[in-house]
Chain A
Amino acid sequence: MNTSTLNDSTGAEVWDDPGLGRRTLTWLRGDPRAALSLVVLVVILGAALLAPWLAPHDPTAQNFDQMLNGPSAEHWLGTDDLGRDVFSRLMHGGANSLYAALLAVAVALVIGVPLGLIAGFAGGWTDTLISRVIDTFLSFPAIILAVAVTGAMGIGLTNAMFSVGLVFAPQIARLIRARTLVVRQELYVDAARCFGASPLRLLSRHVLPNAIQPVIVQSTLLLAVALLAEASLSFLGLGVQPPDVSWGAMIARGYMYMSIVPEQMYAPGLIIMITAVAFNALGESLRAALDPTIKGHS
């Protein structure tokens, strides 16, 4: 999101904006934890995306002479029950796990943002109805609803993460509804309305850009939750299906051979934890960094 163009387009506020790039740099320099998290995430994402070229072995190549081996010079993290290289599978699995997390959050945004905007902006009966539906969805234990929806739509990673996104959407909707209630009272929204802006234009050009900041923070935090949800669903066999691999599926595999080679399950669990910690730390830092701007706006 480029703040300077937003402000130009709203025309409501003019201040000295050093540009998004410079502001990001200043933020990261002042917040080493956020910078570290970002570096960790970039490395993990890079390893996952470049897995087809960087991984030392084919993640699906079976070798029955080397099954369930411990770490060695050739296989850094050992081999699994079919003699496949665990390190290479971790890299390839990362692509699926991160894709899954992004998909779930994207679905949550696509459903949640319009719902929250409509509820907050329309008010009255529309708001009451949408808010009740949101409250009801929030009463469902999240993963359980996702499991049931996946069961109905059909097993598989995309369906599973679509379900998780559906379950997250009410959280986003509630956040954006609350911000919309505040923003729609602002003078610049009234001004735009007086100039004859249509409700759609009001929402997309004036309300949304000013209500989105808490959603950016929440989305970052939700990426961690979605990653854990992917692991859970794939562990249960509802997510990624063999021969595809994800971190959750690797834990499931390691679980079966836990008493023989306990090392197998450490790596995928640890990488999930590290990634989730990084997403959470980034989200918390973003919250702290964005908060003053939110106050400045309203």
Chain B
Amino acid sequence: MTTAVKANRVKQRMVVSRLLQALPILVLATFIVFSLMQLIPGDVAVTLAGENASAERIAQIREAYGLNQPFLAQYGDWLWRAAQGDLGASLLSGEPVAQTIARTFPNTLLIAFYAVLLSVLVGVPLGILAATRAGSPLDSGIMGAASLGVAVPNFWFGMILVLYLALTFKWFPATGFVSPREDFSAALWYATLPALALCTNGVAEIARQLRSSLVEIQSSQHVRTLHAKGLSPARILWKHGLKNVSVNLLTVVGLLFNKILAATVVVEAVFAIPGVGSSIVNAVLQGDFPVVQGAVLAMVVTVILVNLFTDLACTVLDPRISEA
């Protein structure tokens, strides 16, 4: 009993220290997002005002963005307002950036989580299959497909999916989107092809990781002993293989979320999805900087929170920590 209590204390301490670690990263991330504006060459106010802006407009912009203040004061001001949910407004449409994000983020999150789910659902069985038949043609086939899955440009794969599954066979809608808030099942329907396009990398990575960790465990001493004791291979795989690698897998899935979220920026363009990624691209092309900052901030905060969550889940789930 005392060891269990001790283990719990260790875990609690680890959870608290991990939470504290996330804080400086969060603050630094906001600083980096804000500093992006410093990269704009020349007078930022002139750039933000757009082409053929009057001198008054430029002065107005300078005033509105506090560009005549020192950099750190500007940052503090921006951060203070961002913390209250005020991310400024689009230079073009005048829509508050927070509202743009609230409108587009559910779409992006839907395809991202859908793609992560598909990666796990397809990647895990493939990885197990390859590991249990390591060295067989099936194994080489799966691993060969995985090396293609890592190398395929996902937006290009999305185009091929549109070409065959939407335009030729008409199984799925080609482009466009339904907000998951309006009609969730229709949204899933529209999100299927984008999620398939996004998941190639994830499927490949999960299958590879799982295969290599399972193969390693299978050749370890304690599994060989279990084998000698007469346990069935399926039971060994389930009780001793998968249980050990599940924590590892969670870390992979956490990192994968970051990659998939990044890739939505291109895949949303292919499928004409009104998500955060396409807002960023449109804003960049039109020089709408407040939208770029707000949307990138929303993305990075999401990633930091997801990383934090997976790390905490690993700490809680990892059986080895209770031995500490």
Q: Which residues of A contact B (CB under 8 A)?
A: 132-133, 135-137, 139-145, 147-155, 224, 228, 231-232, 235-238, 248, 251, 254-255, 258-259, 262, 265, 268-269, 272-273, 276-277, 280-281
The answer on a CB contact under 8 Å between A140 and B24 is no
B284 touches A (CB below 8 Å): yes
B115 touches A (CB below 8 Å): no
Which chain B positions have C-beta within 8 A of A231? 153, 155-156
The answer on a CB contact under 8 Å between B32 and A137 is yes
Which chain A positions have C-beta within 8 A of B25? 132, 135-136, 139
The answer on a CB contact under 8 Å between A236 and B265 is yes
Contact residues of B between 8 and 40, Cβ < 8 Å to A: 24-25, 28-29, 32, 36-37, 39-40
The answer on a CB contact under 8 Å between A139 and B300 is yes
A278 shortest CB reach to chain B, Å:
9
The answer on a CB contact under 8 Å between A232 and B155 is yes
Shortest Cβ distance from B262 into A: residue: A141
A82 shortest CB reach to chain B, Å:
20
The answer on a CB contact under 8 Å between B283 and A151 is yes
**Size band of the interface chain B makes with A:** 35 or more
B126 touches A (CB below 8 Å): no
The answer on a CB contact under 8 Å between A148 and B284 is yes
Which chain B positions have C-beta within 8 A of A262? 163
Which chain B positions have C-beta within 8 A of A248? 153
B68 touches A (CB below 8 Å): no
The answer on a CB contact under 8 Å between B151 and A144 is no
The answer on a CB contact under 8 Å between B156 and A272 is yes
Top 9 closest pairs, chain A to chain B, by CB: A151-B284, A141-B262, A276-B151, A269-B156, A152-B39, A136-B28, A143-B262, A277-B151, A232-B266
The answer on a CB contact under 8 Å between B147 and A143 is no
Which of A136, A144, A273, A277 is in CB contact (< 8 Å) with B299? A144
A sample of 10 cross-chain residue pairs with beta-carbon separation below 8 angstroms, ordered by A number, consists of A142-B259, A143-B262, A153-B41, A232-B263, A258-B159, A268-B156, A269-B159, A272-B153, A277-B147, A280-B147
The answer on a CB contact under 8 Å between B284 and A150 is yes
The answer for the CA separation of A37 and B127 in the assembled complex, in Å, is: 25
The answer on a CB contact under 8 Å between A273 and B285 is no
Shortest Cβ distance from A167 into B: residue: B262
The answer on a CB contact under 8 Å between A238 and B284 is yes
Candidate in B262, B296, B307 with the most chain A CB atoms within 10 angstroms: B262
Which of B163, B262, B281 is in CB contact (< 8 Å) with A258? B163
Contact residues of B between 122 and 167, Cβ < 8 Å to A: 147-148, 150-153, 155-157, 159-160, 162-163, 167
The answer for the CA separation of A153 and B292 in the assembled complex, in Å, is: 13
The answer on a CB contact under 8 Å between B28 and A144 is no
B287 touches A (CB below 8 Å): yes
Which of A139, A143, A148, A149 is in CB contact (< 8 Å) with B307? A139
The answer for the CA separation of A281 and B151 in the assembled complex, in Å, is: 10
Contact residues of B between 285 and 320, Cβ < 8 Å to A: 285, 287, 289, 292-293, 296, 299-300, 303-304, 307
B273 touches A (CB below 8 Å): no
The answer for the CA separation of A273 and B150 in the assembled complex, in Å, is: 9
Shortest Cβ distance from A230 into B: residue: B153
Which of A152, A273, A280 is in CB contact (< 8 Å) with B36? A152
Shortest Cβ distance from B269 into A: residue: A236
The answer on a CB contact under 8 Å between A142 and B284 is no
A255-B159 CB under 8 A given contacts A152-B39, A232-B265: yes
Which chain A positions have C-beta within 8 A of B322? none
The answer on a CB contact under 8 Å between B36 and A148 is yes
Candidate in A144, A145, A149 with the most chain B CB atoms within 10 angstroms: A144
Shortest Cβ distance from B308 into A: residue: A139
Shortest Cβ distance from A278 into B: residue: B151
A264 shortest CB reach to chain B, Å:
11
The answer for the CA separation of A295 and B153 in the assembled complex, in Å, is: 35
Which chain A positions have C-beta within 8 A of B29? 136, 139-140
Which chain A positions have C-beta within 8 A of B150? 224, 276, 280
A139-B36 CB under 8 A given contacts A132-B28, A133-B28, A281-B147: no
B270 touches A (CB below 8 Å): yes
A148-B280 CB under 8 A given contacts A133-B28, A265-B159: yes
The answer on a CB contact under 8 Å between A152 and B40 is yes
Which of A142, A147, A254 is in CB contact (< 8 Å) with B280? A147
The answer for the CA separation of A248 and B155 in the assembled complex, in Å, is: 10
The answer on a CB contact under 8 Å between B304 and A265 is no
Which of B277, B292, B300 is in CB contact (< 8 Å) with A140? B300
The answer for the CA separation of A281 and B147 in the assembled complex, in Å, is: 8
Which chain A positions have C-beta within 8 A of B285? 151, 155, 237-238
Shortest Cβ distance from A135 into B: residue: B25
A148-B155 CB under 8 A given contacts A143-B262, A277-B148: no
The answer for the CA separation of A152 and B40 in the assembled complex, in Å, is: 5
The answer for the CA separation of A238 and B287 in the assembled complex, in Å, is: 12
B258 touches A (CB below 8 Å): yes
B197 touches A (CB below 8 Å): no
The answer for the CA separation of A28 and B49 in the assembled complex, in Å, is: 57
Which chain B positions have C-beta within 8 A of A268? 156
The answer on a CB contact under 8 Å between A151 and B151 is no
Which of A132, A136, A251, A272 is in CB contact (< 8 Å) with B159? A251
The answer for the CA separation of A254 and B158 in the assembled complex, in Å, is: 13
Which chain A positions have C-beta within 8 A of B152? 269, 273, 276
B191 touches A (CB below 8 Å): no
The answer on a CB contact under 8 Å between A143 and B284 is no
B207 touches A (CB below 8 Å): no
The answer for the CA separation of A235 and B155 in the assembled complex, in Å, is: 9
